[in-house]
Chain A
């Protein structure tokens, strides 16, 4: 089997899975089902990274998005026990929002068609191995790298401060 053909098939499978999953996120009435659809989307996007040979980013995508972020989402949904949610109905304003978003698909693809790369253009498939990304970070972008870690620390402290139960004055609950 031709590797080129295999990549093409994998691209279409993952792209369709990603789009179906994202529609599921938006259209599901049940927030847990939405979250699971989002997990499927993230895994599919990781698959798209694989078709771009971005193996390192695919691993990070699964590790961080599917493995940590969505578990947190699921945990919060289950903690708040939002089991019986209904779709909130349609108002004029929100229908307009949906229409704008739908139009945006065509606008962006049209813009791409006008100014971006053409569908036929071949691409070199080398988005940077883990080694190259590491070098880029530790040589050229040390400062942003350190800022990202600082940001994570601040976010961690912030999340703990925000989510902890406020101490009630005069006795406990």
Chain B
């Protein structure tokens, strides 16, 4: 087998694995969401299907699939079907750009653990995540229902407004790391707190960029349409917003898009601000683990990747919990408050932060 064939097969395997992982995160998040919401509201939550109610998502899935595939008579058939697909697709494309662990050695070659191995990772993540607005807008518009239309309009305006703050706060991290490559941004944060030998910041970016971290987090909430920014589907104002007319499998696709987007944004926060797969004392832990299994040669990189991946997953799990917890804690914004926050608070703060960071980086 030639090198190209090996590369092609490795890429395909990575793509399939990441896709399946993304799909399987959804039921886990569904059951977590329902149990955590119950915990927040002093209820018990779903506990009948299977042990501890763990099979509840499976029952939900059966319900979604067996429902009637309904379409309003005046809805345009093609665009109506396109909406959910365009919502579910971009988050998976974003996942494909994100490295999940340090690269491993296989057959004497380095293999990056992201589906797409590009040095413009951050740029593509921002670009692709902005595509998910089409699904919501098209779905809302094609339903031919005034509430759906309002939901679609709201989502497109909201996405465009908060994308700016999201991109600008991520750019501050790029200024510090000096790269838009996600593995390099992680490599720059190799220490918990501290400077590298050449005097550059080498700790987690959350300590160097606390403001950018908060802005990115808020904009991330808005980009995934989660409370307190769920105005496109605000059920007390718009019935169901853009997905009012959707049911069955199509509704499930909207649902899946939202949860995978949540996963992707949690991964991005962990990678940009919380050191990715680094954690305090990670070198000692990896040395200990390598000694424990007696790994040598290429196997060391495999152990490193596994431990790094688990560390990253722990951080992602924390942010997913935060997402769910906040949804059931905070009330929704009013629409003018949403726009004021996006354009008059987040955007100037992100711009000022970027200018300040640029000045400090170029001065030092």
Contact = CB atoms under 8 A, between A and B. Distances in A.
Q: Do chains A and B touch in the complex (CB under 8 A)?
A: yes
5 contacts: A32-B141, A36-B134, A56-B120, A63-B123, A71-B159
Interface in B1-17: 4-5, 8
Contacts, number: 79
A83 interface: yes
Contact of A59 (B123, B138, B157, B163): B123
B355 interface: no
Tell me whether chain A's interface is mostly helix, strand or loop, or mixed: helix
Given A36-B134, A55-B118, A75 B123 contact: no
Contact of A71 (B78, B127, B137, B141): B137
A66 B131 contact: yes
Nearest to A129: B119
Interface of A: 1-3, 30, 32-33, 36, 39, 55-56, 59-60, 62-63, 66-68, 70-72, 74-75, 78-79, 81, 83, 130
A62 B163 CA distance: 14
Interface in B229-276: none
Given A62-B127, A71-B156, 14 more contacts: A1-B5, A32-B142, A36-B82, A59-B120, A62-B131, A63-B127, A68-B163, A71-B159, A74-B134, A74-B137, A74-B141, A78-B141, A78-B153, A130-B180
A158 B160 CA distance: 18
Contact of B156 (A33, A39, A55, A75): A75
A66 B134 CA distance: 9
A31 to B, nearest CB: 10
Contact of A81 (B4, B5, B149, B180): B149
B157 A75 contact: yes
Contacts of B140: 78
Given A3-B4, A33-B79, A74-B137, A83 B120 contact: no
A9 B153 CA distance: 38
Given A1-B4, A75-B157, A79-B153, A36 B79 contact: yes
Contacts of B149: 78, 81
B165 to A, nearest CB: 14
B170 interface: no
Contact of A67 (B79, B82, B127): B127
Nearest to B5: A1
Interface string B156-171: 1101100100000000
B60 to A, nearest CB: 30
Contacts of B153: 75, 78-79
B76 interface: yes
B282 interface: no
